[in-house]
Chains A and B, each alone.
Chain A
Amino acid sequence: METRSIMIVGVGGQGSLLASRLLGNVLLAQGYDVKVSEVHGMSQRGGSVVTYVKYGDEVFSPVIEKGEADVIISFEQLESARWLPYLKKGGKLITSTQKLDPMPVITGNAEYPENIIEKIKAAGIQVTAADALSLAEEAGNSKASNVVLMGVVAASTDFDDKLWQDAIEQCVPPKFLELNKKAFELGRKAAV
């Protein structure tokens, strides 16, 4: 199988590391060769962050370049716009509707673009949008919006549910397991 590429983009602190680890574990359990590339350190502090997940028979490069991603999973609208060029022709965007002002917008030096999702759709891109933040709050904690989005992703793949449940159990501390399982379920239902 040719290598497939998934990008997870968002704002530092939104939990993209956990999301990429969930996905990586599910893909490994499916029998694929997998590489997950993360970002640590300074860019994690509220900056734009990206993690790459690649899978196939044999994966070489851990990174994804412009025009290479089959799917982009975005935790924030502006980040969807920022990373859009990384989507392959015919690729798919799964995005949270959450908006977080970056510092240049807060300080009044730039404006947050309007109608981002509509504009991306108008460019002919296939988009699935979900209000992951509200669903996470419904599950009990706004921080679980990463797992809500993974639920949305799960709904669009045909991987066995047990693999997802196992991955959540592997990656999430026991204390937060129930909360995250609920968040995952809400995401999956929202996608249908």
Chain B
Amino acid sequence: MKKLMLGNAAFARGLYEAGVTVVSSYPGTPSTEITEFAAEYDEIYAEWAPNEKVAMEVALGASIAGSRSFCGMKHVGLNVAADPLYTASYTGVNGGMVIAVADDPGMHSSQNEQDSRHHAIASKVLMIEPSDSAECKEFTKTAFELSEKFDTPVIIRMSTRVAHSQSAVELCERAEPVQKEYVKNPQKYVMMPAFARGRHVFVGERTQKLIEYAETSPLNKVIDNGGEIGIITSGVSYQYAREAMGNGASYLKLGVVNPLPVKLIKDFCAKYKKVYVIEELDDIIESHCKKLGLYVVGKELFGYMGEISQAIVAEKLLGKKNDFTAFDGDVPVRPPVMCAGCPHRGLFYCLSKNKIRVSGDIGCYTLGASAPLSAMDTTICMGASISALHGFNKARGEEAEKSTVAVIGDSTFMHSGMTGLVNIAYNATNSTVIILDNSITGMTGHQQNPTTGKNLKGDPAAAVNLEELCKAIGIKRVRVVDPYNLAETEAAIKEELAVSEPSVIISRRPCALLKYVKHKPALKVVTDSCKGCKMCLKLGCPAISVRDGKAVIDHTQCVGCGICSEVCRFGAISE
């Protein structure tokens, strides 16, 4: 029976059918659901690791032990895991090891739009790329066979549109997992210079074998419709090209994207008068063709940024544009916002009100950068808030220390914030770090983390005690505030900025969307008392707006957090 499945769910099904037994990942849009769905199979052990580097090392350890293993991450996560990746390429595997990396062209939910194929090229590992859910499942199963056959980790490159589109998938039985024998083999697994030199030779030979494989791999497909136009493409770009051009072009759809075949591409190009390369982000396939001396057209039409679509292909190749009717009038933008009742709002209100500089980080709280709170100066990557604050403070001295904070979520702190805090304690700046502990990994859709006391399956687990951890790191001033209590939160921020030693404020209140969080009844505006001063609008709460000069609260959104009644000077907001 065919089932409609998300690309990520089909990927997880592929893990199940391939007999995978160990999964370790860190959540990151658009890769998160692979691991969540994998965890639903009782036969698979699945966990959230504190970060991608740890996850990949867990997967490699499991592979060396003889089991089929997996780790999943988003594109920027692979930067964090690059260290083990580049050496896992040398060690190779015992049980098959597959890595999912999900790119995000168009930056739907990311801080950059890097092309992960570069990591496959640089680390010299096999990378394959599916273009729909059925392929997500089949490619995953094939990836484990290839991993074991060629002794290499295999990266499966996903993208937002493949990961988060549902299409039909045919389900199969699970292969009985076979744990391979573990034999001590330092020449293969101890990567000190003497042994690594030998493995580098192996990697070179393996690359040649992988190129030979790519020439005839069933993952690469030629769809020959005759004609004069040939299109070389991969992943979701193939779907765009096929929809726009139909049978009016022939296609070389590359499932193996590293290493790229040579003869297959040369033969394809020889058949058509005009050959286009359609690939999102960088010009990896196009450059490969040009290195082979082939004349192809790609980036000069499609550029290096954002997503491609069938409309873009039709416009660039056929000069066709769709007719449409636009709305007669201005349409205000609707950017994402912190939810009604979000515990981050109170904290950012206090920072904004006091014009404090904020070194930001990656998570829901990055939305604190948006108007009207506008309380963020920098956001770079996971964990950078704390280390960048230390650098900022070292550069500008006391003036900065008294007026700048770092904000970081509980999960991000576990991921890579801790080491920055160690640096603050060790190398001594009077920095103030605020950990926004909402008891969950929020932005990616509520994943457990080492501070929540639950594991991926929802079972009880050891919980990191943030207060004790910060103290053990060497921060003497550690205090906890409730961000729904604005007076307490504001006072704490002012006090900790004023003192001449490093400090941590833990702003603690669970995410308002968590199922166990009980909401209070929606608040109401006492219209007669409301002066229309719009102070409450400074909170940027989506439940509050103004109608006919008076504040109104949308009862379908309000969860009764009460911070609007704290900022109202006229007592006009009540239960």
**A residues at B contact (CB < 8 Å):** 3, 11-13, 21, 24-25, 28, 33-48, 59-63, 65-68, 78-79, 81-82, 84-89, 100-113, 116, 119-120, 122-125, 133, 142
Is B326 in contact with A85, judged by CB distance below 8 angstroms?
Answer: yes
In the complex, are the beta carbons of B337 and A36 less than 8 A apart? no
Binds A, one of B120-128, B163-171, B204-212: B163-171
The reply on B329 being an interface residue by CB < 8 A is yes
**A35–B242 alpha-carbon span in the complex (Å):** 15
Contact A103 B334 (CB under 8 A): yes
Known: A38-B164, A45-B337, A105-B332. A68 touches B311 (CB 8 A): yes
Q: Decide: B337 and A47 in contact? CB cutoff 8 A.
A: yes
| Shortest Cβ gap from A53 to chain B (Å) | 9
Identify A110's interface contact among B330, B366, B534, CB under 8 A.
B330
With A103-B335, A123-B325 as contacts: A65 and B545 at CB distance below 8 Å: no
Which residues of chain A are within 8 angstroms of B166 by Cβ–Cβ distance?
21, 24, 34-38
Which residues in B have their C-beta under 8 angstroms from that of A110?
330, 332-333
Q: B3: shortest Cβ distance to chain A, in Å?
A: 8
Closest to A123 in B: B325
Query: Would you call A104 and B310 a contact (CB within 8 A)?
Result: no
Closest A-B pairs by Cβ, 6 of them: A67-B322, A41-B109, A41-B29, A47-B336, A65-B311, A110-B332
B53 contacts the other chain (Cβ, under 8 Å)?
no
Closest B residue to A31 by beta carbon equals B2
Give Cα A112 to B249, complex, Å. Answer: 46
Q: Is B542 an interface residue (CB 8 A)?
A: yes
Provide the bound-state CA to CA distance between A60 and B165, in Å. 11
Which one of B179-187, B367-375, B494-502 is at the interface? B367-375
The answer, yes or no, to whether B462 is at the interface (CB within 8 Å) is no
Residue in A35, A104, A111 whose beta carbon sits within 8 Å of that of B333 in the complex: A104
Q: Collect the chain A residues with CB atoms within 8 Å of residue B164's CB.
A: 37-40
B231 within 8 A of A: no
Whether B516 is near chain A, meaning CB under 8 Å from some CB there, is no
Whether A46 pairs with B336 at a CB distance below 8 angstroms is: yes
Residue of B nearest to A115 (CB): B329
Residue numbers in B under 8 Å from A108 (CB-CB): 534, 537, 546
- B239 at the A/B interface (Cβ < 8 Å)? yes
Q: Which residue of A lies closest to B238 (CB)?
A: A60
Q: Measured between alpha carbons, how far is A134 from B326 in the docked complex, in Å?
A: 29
Shortest distance from the beta carbon of B532 to any chain A beta carbon, whole Å: 11
* 26 residue pairs bridging A and B, Cβ less than 8 Å apart: A33-B168, A35-B132, A36-B166, A37-B161, A37-B166, A38-B166, A42-B29, A42-B366, A46-B339, A61-B309, A63-B307, A67-B322, A82-B331, A82-B334, A84-B326, A84-B327, A85-B324, A100-B542, A104-B371, A107-B371, A110-B332, A112-B332, A113-B330, A113-B331, A116-B327, A119-B327
Given contacts A45-B364, A81-B329, contact A28 B168 (CB under 8 A): yes
CB distance from A93 to the nearest CB of B (A): 10
- With a cutoff of 8 Å between Cβ atoms, the chain B residues found around residue A88 in the complex are 322, 324
Q: Say yes or no: is B19 at the interface (Cβ < 8 Å to chain A).
A: no
Docked CA distance A116–B330 (Å): 11
A113–B6 Cα distance when bound, in Å, is 36
What chain A residues lie within 8 Å of B244 (beta carbons)?
61
Interface size class of B (residues with CB under 8 A): 35 or more
Q: Are B323 and A102 in contact (CB under 8 A)?
A: no
CA distance A107 to B132 in the complex (A): 41
A48-B236 in contact (CB<8A): no
List of A residues within 8 angstroms of B556 by Cβ:
133, 142
Q: Are A103 and B323 in contact (CB under 8 A)?
A: no
Closest-CB distance, A176 to chain B (whole angstroms): 13
| CB pair A11 B109 closer than 8 Å | no
Q: In the bound complex, how far is the Cα of B345 from the Cα of A46, in angstroms?
A: 14
* Distance of A101 Cα from B307 Cα, bound (Å): 29
Nearest chain B CB to A54 CB, angstrom units: 9
Is there an interface contact between A62 and B165, defined as CB atoms closer than 8 Å? yes
Of B32, B333, B534, chain A has the most CB atoms within 10 Å of the CB of B333
The docked-state distance in angstroms from the alpha carbon of A78 to that of B334 is 9
Which residues of chain B from 537 to 552 have any CB-CB distance to chain A below 8 Å in the complex?
A: 537, 540-542, 544-546
Asked, given contacts A85-B326, A107-B372, whether A61 binds B240 with beta carbons under 8 Å apart, the answer is: yes
Residues of chain A contacted by B545 (CB below 8 angstroms): 101, 105-106
- The answer to whether A28 and B4 have CB atoms under 8 Å apart is yes
A142 to B522, CA, bound (A): 13
Query: Which residues on B sit within 8 Å (CB–CB) of A109?
Result: 371
Asked if B444 is at the interface of the complex by the 8 Å CB criterion, the answer is yes
Per a CB cutoff under 8 Å, which of B4, B364, B371, B372 touches A34? Answer: B4
A154 to B: closest C-beta gap in Å = 18
Residue of A nearest to B363 (CB): A42
B30-58 residues with Cβ-Cβ distance < 8 A to A are: 30, 32-33
Q: CA–CA, A122 to B541, complex, Å? A: 34
Are B325 and A125 interface neighbours, CB within 8 A? yes
Contacts of B397 in A (CB 8 A): none
- Contacting residues, chain A, for B33 (C-beta < 8 A): 40
